[in-house]
Amino acid sequence: MENNHNLSKKKLHTPSAFRIKLIIPSVFFIVTILFLLTISLFYFQSNNQNNNIFEKRFTRTKSISGDFYKYNIESDAKAIQAIMTSLRVSKELSSIFATKDRKKILEYVTPLYIELNHDYNITHFYFSDLNRVNIMRAHAPDRYGDTINRVTTLNSESNRSVAYGVELGKLGTLTLRVVSPWYSDDGTQIGYFELGMEIDHIISRLERILDFNIELFIHKQYLQKDTWNEGMAVLGRNIDWQQFDSLVPTKQIINPIFRSFINSKDENKTFFGGSIKSYKKDGSTFWLLSVPISDIEGRNVANLLMLADTTFETDVTQKTIITVGLIIFVLASLLLIAFLRQINKIITHIALEESLLNKMANKDSLTNLYTRRVFDESLRREIKRSESSKYTFSILLIDIDHFKNVNDSYGHHSGDIALKIVSKIILDSCRDTDIVCRYGGEEFIVIAKSRDSQEVKVIAERIRESIQSTTIDIGNQRLINITISAGISSCGDNKSNDFNIVAAADRALYRAKSAGRNCIRIA
């Protein structure tokens, strides 16, 4: 027992025990001291490090903001061009434009402009003649008769094609303008058509992405003081032309940091070249970013001044490197996520706009025939045409007999096959000038231009016989035959509006069904 006790004493004084008792605590103490010294050193160097970190961060943000602005300009220009393409195919608008009758043009385009302004932020809507003399501004009907000498219009005139770009207006507003020659139905140029949108919505998008306060400043050298002051009065904006040496804001500055910075003229004389700088006010730290904005001529006509409050981040970085690193990582991650989410929203928005533009093609996705909307618009045009002349047209309303039985017995897919085949037979039997539409589920309607009821009845009989004799393969070795009934009406004294002529065709169709189906009746 005594020997075991002595052995225990010897173990307490072995080199291993000595290291545990003395060396390890000493190392721990030294490491702690070094750690504290490191933290202390960082505390004194944190301001410089913080500036470097934020300068790199906001340099990237400035670059991203510039790219975002250019991307939105290009994207919006493409969207406007797509809208213009859809408008140029309107024969009615072309004919009204060719008359140069301001009252008629304004009456036609006013609801169109209201819709474009609401849905697509269109703020400028121009028609000008071949000499670039303005015929009508939908957004400002009282202003007309002036010659449009903007670069976009001159470029469109020179190249005889669509031209677009950002231009500075006399009132100090930056507008994306898209100008296109306008041609009549025979290919003769009759003037110019212009759509535009102010770039304020791009700034709003950027504010939502970055969560910064952003203001747009215009260089005074490109403005006339008297004209600008008159414009601000018209727009109801109380802005002092003298508050800044070489620039003016586009709206009243509310943020007190911006006002303080604007008043510090010695600090900001050279700032608007596109630099980044920190700014301290009342114990808080801010970073100011300036993004130059160029017009279509490549002139630096404006600057985006972006204000980020970094007080919280700066205070945290002075406490610990780890916290600073985590904060920067989190902020950078949030910034990236916010940016990617916004880009995704923009892509989704563009996709929706493209989808809307595709819908403007007005084709039924199943049958590839025109839709009910096209029929209604076309019918109104044909009725107007018939009222002003001896022009005659007819309506052919077709319905598939007992079509519900096809869907119930064989399924909707088989019904879709039958609809496609019937649609093709009808379309192949009509002229290119006729308007063939899908009127309802299994109903089809045709506007037969320059034809009376007897002529249309010959076509209808040909369609009926062709459908009756066609055996339809609906898959799985199943064959079916179907028939149609049809009603015909023509424009005349008793059918002076779209309701009467369609109702007459519908009554004729009802008589055909009452007669046993698979036949044609004339109203």
The residue with greater pLDDT, 97 or 39, is 97
Q: What is the CATH number of the domain that holds 386?
A: 3.30.70.270
> Which pLDDT does position 11 carry in this prediction?
47
pLDDT tens-place string over residues 196-233: 998 888 888 888 888 888 888 888 889 988 888 887 88
- H helices of 360-439, in order, are 372-387, 403-410, 412-429
Pairing of strands 520-522, 484-490: parallel
Residue 21 DSSP label? I
Q: What would the mean pLDDT of 233-242 be, rounded to a whole number? A: 79
Residues 293 and 407 placed together within one structural domain of the fold: no
The residue with greater pLDDT, 21 or 48, is 48
Residues 167 and 293 placed together within one structural domain of the fold: yes
340, part of any domain:
no
Catalytic residue, from 353, 442, 455, 461: name it: 442
d(CA 318, CA 486): 84
pLDDT of 268 higher than 60: no
Q: Where are the beta strands (DSSP E) in 87-243?
A: 124-128, 134-137, 163-168, 174-183, 189-198, 213-219
The domain boundary residue, chosen from 270, 294, 314: 314
Mean pLDDT score across all residues of the chain:
81
State how many domains the chain has. 2
**For the whole model, what pTM was predicted?**
0.51
Confidence of residue 375 (pLDDT cuts 50, 70, 90): very high
pLDDT of 432 higher than 60: yes
Does 465 participate in catalysis according to the annotation? Answer: no
> Which pLDDT does position 340 carry in this prediction?
53
The domain boundary residue, chosen from 298, 314, 330: 314
Q: What is the CATH number of the domain that holds 259?
A: 3.30.450.20
d(CA 301, CA 246): 11
As a three-state string, the secondary structure of 274-333 is CCEEEEEECCEEEEEEEEEEECCCCCEEEEEEEEEECHHHHHHHCCCHHHHHHHHHHHHH
> Which pLDDT does position 369 carry in this prediction?
93
Q: What would the mean pLDDT of 69-93 be, rounded to a whole number? A: 90
d(CA 308, CA 474): 65
Please check whether residue 291 is in contact with residue 199, taking contact to mean a CB–CB distance below 8 angstroms.
Answer: no
Please check whether residue 401 is in contact with residue 517, taking contact to mean a CB–CB distance below 8 angstroms.
Answer: yes
d(CA 190, CA 129): 6
Confidence of residue 30 (pLDDT cuts 50, 70, 90): low
154, part of any domain:
yes
Residues 287 and 393 placed together within one structural domain of the fold: no
How does 46-65 read in b/e, with b if 16+ C-beta sit within 10 Å? beeebeebbeebbeebbebb
In degrees and rounded to multiples of 5, residue 298 shows phi and psi of 80, 10
d(CA 92, CA 380): 12
